[in-house]
């Protein structure tokens, strides 16, 4: 995964380019990739902002599954596959498998 640089560095890089230096010279000066700097500068020119875009990541849907709801749904629908359970609860099959295994270890299922 790529590293996200802080906005102070981005501001310095953009100011360096705005003062007449080329993107390649700026990249050498700051020891950064010219492609990354070109992307920052293009984004800055288009939006007027140096802020980094929000990065992706987990939206942590897993914590939203109620254990009692899962247990009740499984007891009421024993024919459902793990894939169907995952779709119903809007989580991954791996997460459903982990929850079921945990419930079995605890003697709940």
Tens digit of each residue's pLDDT (9 = 90 or more) over 69-104: 999 999 999 999 999 999 998 889 999 999 999 889
Q: How far apart are CA 27 and CA 53, in angstroms?
A: 21
**The model's pTM:** 0.50
61-105 CATH fold: Arc Repressor Mutant, subunit A (1.10.10)
Helix, strand or coil, per DSSP, at residue 102 = helix
pLDDT surpasses 50 at 8: yes
Helix, strand or coil, per DSSP, at residue 90 = coil
Picking from 109, 67, 58, the residue whose alpha carbon sits closest to that of residue 89 is 67
């Amino acid at each position: 995964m790529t590293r996200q640089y802080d906005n102070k560095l981005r501001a310095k890089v953009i100011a360096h380019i705005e003062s007449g230096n080329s993107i390649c010279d700026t990249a050498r000066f700051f020891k950064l990739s010219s492609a990354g700097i070109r992307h920052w500068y293009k984004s800055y020119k288009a939006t007027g902002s140096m802020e980094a875009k929000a990065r992706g990541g987990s939206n942590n849907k897993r914590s939203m599954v109620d254990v009692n709801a899962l247990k009740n749904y499984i007891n009421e629908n024993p024919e459902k596959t793990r894939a169907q359970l995952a779709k119903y609860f809007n989580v991954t099959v791996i997460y459903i498998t982990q929850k079921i295994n945990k419930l079995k270890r605890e003697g709940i299922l």
